[in-house]
Chain A
Amino acid sequence: MGKLRPGRIAPMLAAALLAASVAACGGGSDEPAASGQPAEKIKLTVGLFSDFHFAPLYEEFKKTHPNVEIVERRAQFNDHHKNLTTQLATGAGAADVVAVEAGYIATFTPLADKFYDLGQYGLGKRQADYLDWKWSQGLSPDGKLLGLGTDIGGTAMCYRTDLFKAAGLPTNRDEVSKLWPTWEDYAKVGQQFMAAKVKNAKWFDGPGENFRAMVDQAPVGFYDEQNNLVAGTNPDVKKAWDLSVQMLQADESAKLAAFSPPWNTGLTKGSFATIVCPSWKTGSIKDAAPTTAGKWDVAAVPGGGGGNQGGTHLMAPKQGKHPKEAAELIDLLTSKDNQLKLFTDAGALPSIPALYDDPAITGFTNPFFNDAPTGKIFTDAAKALKPQHVGPKAGDVLTAFGNALQRIEQGKQQPDASWQQALQDLDRIK
């Protein structure tokens, strides 16, 4: 190895400095790495919290973008959103396209500096497609377009025809819908069902989902429009609480926490006769209890519809290096044609109202649910839907009330004490 002479060091240092400064400029600017050239290989990651049945759509995207490779990552629902929070805070690790569910969307839309403004990539034109409220959920407070909606959670009530028959209740879905115009009626029919003593079967799975459905139907839920937490003082919340407690005391609950392994077993074994069914849940039931095909049917939800439960937005975190491709992928995944496909594949109810009168949807029947016209049922629910403002920590509030109802259910607390503890838990939510 030759020795470095002082005369040679200076130009080398200069070159190194120059290279470093060029690299620094490249890394520091917000300009994405040149992505227009077709030859460049690009990898896009998509972060989801369950199987969205996106796989065929990725193939479609690759036809127009042969240079793009798409990798899907899935995590459990709560973990997915918490991971996303840490990834945004630490500035590394987030996927190029992320799914954010309705319970969390208001947590992320204020962080306009952490997500790409999809309006800059030409997605503003999609506004005409969308339900107004779904569109505005994806906007930052200053009006930047951070997320595009996939589905919404128009709600119905799924029920087991075999258990209804055993209890002497009607099984035809129109007659069943007439049994419960209100939630009070639903509770009463529950008492009737329990009186029939169908072996090993209760009226519903657990109190949390019913409580959530009732709150979702109210004009104001846990938060007011100014994001003040009003759950403790909102009479509609208390009313939903009281009715949930009443149903618990009538022993109508199978005491199964939604999406837990015992809940899956309960679905398969017929441990409960009814279950609140946002559109996407028809897919969950089918996935969790495939052997129960044909035993289910779908009726209208008590209280006259009007609630939205769940639904998702797709967003593009600024950590991603390829915002143009990410935006194009989001555009494709949420396009009108593909929302139609996802409804028939996965039960995801479109957020594009033009589809609600599309014969392919209105005429759709679901063989798993006894050929129920789920297309018509859920689009009717979507048309009746009155959107509610979702606050930033709605998920934590729901957990506090869900735990409170379970404490009563497990006989650990009296309803009043449990309500008081729930209010104390709300005080701790920052």
Chain B
Amino acid sequence: MATRAPDRPTAVPRHRSERFGRQLAYRLDVKASPYAYVMPFLLVFCAFGLFPLVYTAWVSLHDWTLLSDVHKFVGLDNFAFLLGDDYFWNATFNTVSIGLVSTVPQLLLAIWLAHLLNRPLRAQTLFRVTLLLPNVTSVVAVVVIFSQLFGRDYGLINWVLSWFGVGAIDWNAGTASSHVAISTMIMWRWTGYNALIFLAAMQAVPRDLYEAATIDGASGFTQLRKITIPMIKPTIVFVVITSTIGAMQVVAEPLLFGTYSPTGGPDRQYQTLSLFIYENFAKLDFGYASAISWMMFVFIVIAAGVNYLLTRRSGGNLT
């Protein structure tokens, strides 16, 4: 939104031409300078956002292999093949499944953690910094360590489960089990980060609401449910949107969990959309990989649109 500059008192001009010149400068200042201010962003966006987007669309209409100089125009063939490709729908299912399994418990846990930290505590800063630590760890290190934990023969998790009489689970092999394993890695990295965002929002909630509720005899959980959550709803919506987009882009965890196998397990049981794109880029089939990228873009736009509608609906209820 362009903001209108306040009217300035103009000096009485001596000549018509001078008056005209001043008016022009004034109008330019008001109308054009805001664009000049946002221009650096726009240029960077065009170079790294818009251009790749358009160029990818152009590539997706071709039979485009990296090492060949001939790029045959094939129209929408790549997209037609894509819609009939089982591997594509399998990757879509995996992305949604891993997205749900990782995001829902993650956000609940984050709210709970933020709630716990949203009270006078000793060594508060220490706890808050600790929350963020998993997020600054290298994703490669996280996945390598978690892959060891989820090992079939000598993994710590199977060892603990064996105390309860549960047989060794081949985490990597199963569809559900691999999704759980990958979701755990994602949750470990992002729960604390989201908890901090929630915590920031919670600190803006007026204290007197809690004091009144305490006097009325409301328990901690009731306060969380009836006061905190309604008050931080806009933040929740924001975190849901960013987490949804993040979940659409999961790639490093499944790639490394499968020891660099771009198919995401022998049965593609945990191949996400991004990994499917990577597989086809790695095969140098840029035309098809670009088509998948564009379908993924469409999915993200749909997801963002749904989120937007939800935001608008809930916007009226905010108190």
**Chain A interface residues toward B at CB < 8 A:** 76, 78-79, 82, 85-86, 88-89, 111, 200, 255, 257, 259-262, 265-266, 269, 271, 396, 399, 402-407, 409-413, 429-430
Contacts and interface: CB of A to CB of B under 8 A. Distances in A.
A430 B283 contact: yes
Contacts of B284: 85
A88 B67 CA distance: 8
Nearest to A413: B267
A412 B173 contact: yes
A20 to B, nearest CB: 25
Contacts of B269: 412
B153 interface: yes
A403 B154 contact: no
B259 A271 contact: no
Given A262-B151, A407-B266, A410-B266, A430 B285 contact: yes
Contacts of B152: 255, 262
Contact of B263 (A86, A403, A411): A403
12 contacts: A78-B260, A85-B66, A85-B67, A88-B67, A111-B67, A257-B261, A265-B151, A266-B153, A399-B261, A410-B170, A411-B173, A430-B283
Given A410-B266, A412-B173, A259 B67 contact: no
B148 interface: yes
B260 A261 contact: no
Q: What's the dominant secondary structure at chain A's contact region?
A: helix
B259 A257 contact: yes
A335 B282 CA distance: 34
B144 interface: yes
Contacts of A259: 259
A286 to B, nearest CB: 20
B253 to A, nearest CB: 15
B97 interface: no
Given A261-B144, A406-B267, A430-B283, 16 more contacts: A76-B260, A78-B282, A79-B260, A85-B66, A88-B67, A111-B67, A255-B152, A261-B148, A261-B259, A262-B154, A265-B151, A402-B266, A403-B266, A405-B266, A410-B173, A410-B266
Contacts of B65: 430
B63 to A, nearest CB: 9
A429 B259 CA distance: 22
Contacts of B259: 257, 259-261
Interface in B142-172: 144, 147-148, 151-154, 170
B140 to A, nearest CB: 11
A89 B266 contact: no
A404 B266 contact: yes
Interface size class, chain B? 20 to 34
Contacts of B267: 403, 406-407, 410, 412-413
A403 B267 CA distance: 7
Contacts of A255: 152, 170
Nearest to B278: A82
A255 B172 CA distance: 11
Nearest to B173: A410
B7 to A, nearest CB: 40
Contacts of B148: 261
Interface in B257-293: 259-261, 263, 266-267, 269, 282-285
A406 B148 CA distance: 20
Contacts of B153: 200, 262, 265-266, 269, 271
Contacts of A261: 144, 147-148, 151, 259
Nearest to A81: B282
Contacts of A269: 153-154
B284 to A, nearest CB: 6
A85 B281 CA distance: 11
Contacts of A412: 173, 266-267, 269
A114 to B, nearest CB: 9
A424 to B, nearest CB: 9
A348 B222 CA distance: 69
A89 B67 contact: yes
B19 to A, nearest CB: 33
Interface in B206-234: none
Contacts of A413: 267
A83 B180 CA distance: 31
Pick the most buried of A85, A411, A430: most chain B CB atoms within 10 A of its CB. A430
A410 to B, nearest CB: 4
- Nearest first, the 5 A-B pairs at minimum CB distance are A406-B266, A403-B266, A410-B173, A260-B259, A89-B66
Contacts of B154: 262, 265, 269
A163 B11 CA distance: 100
A260 B147 CA distance: 10
A261 B144 CA distance: 8
B145 to A, nearest CB: 10
B49 to A, nearest CB: 20
A82 B282 contact: yes
Contacts of A79: 260
Contacts of A200: 153
A411 B153 CA distance: 17
A412 B90 CA distance: 15
A404 B263 CA distance: 12
A409 B267 CA distance: 11
A261 B67 CA distance: 33
A65 B268 CA distance: 50
A199 B223 CA distance: 56
Contacts of A402: 266
A204 B91 CA distance: 32
A122 to B, nearest CB: 29
A403 B153 CA distance: 20
A257 B170 CA distance: 13
Contacts of A410: 170, 173, 266-267
A401 B148 CA distance: 26
A391 to B, nearest CB: 15
B266 A396 contact: no
Contacts of A403: 261, 263, 266-267
Contacts of B144: 261
